[in-house]
Chain A
């Protein structure tokens, strides 16, 4: 393990990779600040650039963009009450009232410190938990993998909130259906290509991610005429002090620690992610607080800002656990990273720890660097980064469209891909209007091929019998969790704890989730 850590540290401290962390954090912060563009779009926009880099640098850049986007989302939540992504919606509950009281600087600093705490605690747990889980998962068989993928997909639907479970499930199945287009990897037979040679290789995940997130989110803002709205001006001169007093630090420290731990655990769950972690941490902190502090929640409470910020960053780190150790993405963003890793020829999963220790460890170590960069460089530069937002929307939107399109075109040099993007974007827009979430579709698409491979192996080993689902205790246990994940939301409604998640998902549908 120590050899791996040293190899990872060696890779992570290479000047070029440190540059990638800095560039990733800056560009992520900028994209994350743009209301409507979340971490998924930010990471998707970076993919074409990472194709020219080596795998470790590419993934480090994407991880930096991920953190930057979550941080950027918090900034626009606090300053203009316009969350850049769903996971920072809760940040606005207490962050914006603080900004209105002239404490924007303090709110930004607190958000950065808590994000740092969340990210640091998350990275430390990941450092211990990931290799342990990777070692255990080396004994996994194809039936266990199949069960894990079913768990991942059903958990995505289960965590999608009140009234959304069936829609999320439908989108997951839709993603699995799209994954079957092209040549069947097992038999070599073309499926659903309708004689079109351009579909023989299937639909590229980059194309699907760009069309359903980056492109669809920008076009959605045009559809709602949001490009005509004047952005609320950010009065940078009225930021106020960025310093926190000792008492304030003492007041929020336990909150940050609790929420970080809790956020990480929620992030590890497949499909849960940063949004749910932030909402739940906020709710828990409000319930734990004494009456006097509880009444301040929603009016600029320090703990109300600290809890979601620590939780969403820790959850972002936690979502790397299933990705790096099992090869199963825990969120939409990590699903895109999984696709990118596969494009590099690296198969995330238990073997990653053994076969590519430098990628495994450098990602974990650079996550910590990313948090340092956000705290040391981004925080003082926020007033300057946010000036980029004054680029008028009529100029910015065609540029984002252009980058999304060329990002796909420059990989394949096939104009059919752009035509397909137009078609998929139109479908995605219509589905968004019908309140269908997009992330489950992407997750279904990316897991589709692996799910089919593992099912085929398990079925062939068990001679066509489905008994493999319950014969091996581990498979049976994971399958029971998958069934529970689908049944629990219905039971949960009786206890009323899903109310807040429902609230979160209204934003998830519109803004893309982390």
Chain B
């Protein structure tokens, strides 16, 4: 049997609905709430059931054509993984290094990852932009940007 995109989608959605349904029944309620016509579990329970039915329909009616198989051929998964990691590191750096340095670092590495290698372009497209944006936020719009924990220690 060919496992197509429709089947993978259906299976994932079925798994999601089952797990969601399990936790929906675990939602705590105030005493007596279970006898009310509507409580915190009503919508989540209904969604879990409807979701499961839709997932089963997707599995039953999904395309079986071999051309519908999921393929990662030709996709630059590694580069996307690196970019996502960069965004995650940027999130951490914001609280440690502060907005300005994190932004410069993020842009420099981002340009470099996407193939820009000229040092002049790398610097010109990151440092003035980051400084200008920081100035706009911190000085002109008076938005407080935490300086970063590292600077507080020094």
Interface residues on B, range: 35 or more
Q: Which residues on B sit within 8 Å (CB–CB) of A405?
A: 87, 90-91
Closest chain-A Cβ to B16's Cβ sits at a distance in Å of: 7
- Check B27–A191 contact: CB distance below 8 A: yes
**Complexed CA–CA distance, A228 and B75 (Å):** 13
Assess A177 versus B30: contact at CB under 8 Å? Given A170-B13, A395-B111, A397-B114.
no
Check B40–A191 contact: CB distance below 8 A: yes
A219 at the interface (CB under 8 A from B): yes
Tell yes or no: A186 within 8 A of B by CB.
yes
Instruction: Determine the distance from Cα of A363 to Cα of B70 in the docked complex, in whole angstroms.
Output: 44
Task: State whether A460 touches B47 (Cβ < 8 A).
Answer: no
Complex contact A187–B58 (CB within 8 A): no
- Are A169 and B54 in touch, CB under 8 angstroms? yes
The residue on B at minimum CB distance from A421 is B87
Any B CB within 8 A of the CB of A6:
no
| A459: contacting residue among B16, B38, B76, B91, CB under 8 A | B38
B window 13-54: CB within 8 A of A: 13, 16-17, 20, 23, 27-30, 33, 36-40, 42-44, 47, 50-51, 54
Question: A225 CA to B76 CA in the complex, in Å?
Answer: 6
Question: Does A224 touch B at the CB level, under 8 Å?
Answer: yes
C-alpha gap A415/B99 in the complex (Å): 11
CB within 8 Å of B: which A441-473 residues: 451-452, 455-456, 459-460, 462-464
Partner of B107, one of A180, A187, A399: A399
Chain B nearest CB, measured from A442 CB (Å)? 16
Q: How far is the CB of A265 from chain B (nearest CB, A)?
A: 29
Residue of A at shortest CB range from B84?
A422
Cβ of B9 and Cβ of A436 under 8 Å apart? yes
| B115 A402 Cβ-Cβ under 8 A | no
Q: Say yes or no: is A189 at the interface (Cβ < 8 Å to chain B).
A: yes
Complex Cα gap A409–B146 (Å)? 12
Query: Which chain B positions have C-beta within 8 A of A460?
Result: 36-38
Distance in Å: Cβ of B104 to nearest Cβ of chain A: 11
Q: Which residues of B contact A223 (CB under 8 A)?
A: 75-77, 79-80
- In whole Å, how far is A434's beta carbon from the nearest beta carbon of chain B? 5
Partner among B40, B51, B95 whose Cβ is within 8 Å of the Cβ of A177: B51
Q: Is the interface of B mostly helix, strand, loop or mixed?
A: helix
Task: Tell me, yes or no, whether A418 is within 8 Å of chain B by CB.
Answer: yes
A163 sits at the interface (CB 8 A): yes
Given contacts A222-B79, A434-B5, A460-B37, contact A189 B23 (CB under 8 A): no
Which residues of B lie under 8 Å from residue A169 when comparing CB positions?
A: 54
A425 interface residue (CB < 8 Å to B) = yes
The CA of A395 and the CA of B111, in the complex, are separated in Å by 6
Is residue A344 contacting chain B, with contact meaning CB distance below 8 A?
A: no
Flag whether A392 is at the interface (Cβ < 8 A): yes
Contacts of A459 in B (CB 8 A): 37-38, 42
Q: Number of A residues contacting the other chain (C-beta, 8 Å)?
A: 61
Annotate B85-127 by CB proximity to A: 1 below 8 A, 0 otherwise. 0011011101100000001001100110011100001000100
Contact (Cβ within 8 A) B43 A180: yes
Residue from the list B27, B90, B116, B146 in contact with A418, Cβ < 8 A: B90
- Smallest CB–CB gap between B124 and chain A, Å? 10
Q: Which of A174, A418, A435 contacts B16 (CB 8 A)?
A: A174
> Would A166 and B57 be within 8 Å (CB), given that A191-B40, A434-B8 are in contact?
yes
* Residues of B contacting A462 in the complex (Cβ-Cβ under 8 angstroms): 37
Which residue on A lies nearest to B141, using beta carbons? A52
A429 at interface by CB-CB < 8 Å: yes
B83 lies within 8 A of chain A by Cβ: yes
**Chain B residues within 8 Å of A464, by CB:** 36-38
Within 8 A of B (CB), among A168-214: 169-170, 173-174, 176-177, 180, 184, 186-187, 189, 191-192
Nearest neighbor of A395 in chain B, beta-carbon distance = B125
The verdict on A402 contacting B58 (CB below 8 Å), with A219-B80, A222-B114, A419-B88 known, is no
* B51 nearest CB neighbor, chain A only: A173
A418-B37 in contact (CB<8A): no
Tell me the complex Cα distance, A464–B34, Å: 12
A227 at the interface (CB under 8 A from B): yes
A433 in contact (CB, < 8 A): yes
Known: A187-B39, A399-B107, A418-B87. A173 touches B54 (CB 8 A): yes
30 contacts between A and B (CB under 8 A): A166-B61, A167-B9, A173-B50, A174-B51, A177-B44, A187-B29, A187-B30, A187-B39, A222-B79, A223-B76, A224-B75, A394-B114, A398-B107, A405-B87, A405-B91, A406-B103, A409-B94, A418-B88, A418-B91, A422-B84, A422-B87, A422-B88, A422-B91, A431-B9, A433-B75, A434-B6, A435-B9, A459-B38, A463-B37, A464-B38
Beyond the given pairs A435-B5, A459-B42, 11 more chain A to chain B contacts, judged by CB atoms under 8 angstroms and listed by A's residue number, are A167-B6, A170-B9, A170-B54, A191-B27, A219-B84, A398-B107, A406-B103, A415-B92, A418-B88, A455-B42, A460-B36
The 9 closest A-B pairs by CB, nearest first: A398-B110, A464-B37, A418-B91, A394-B114, A456-B38, A415-B91, A394-B116, A459-B37, A184-B40
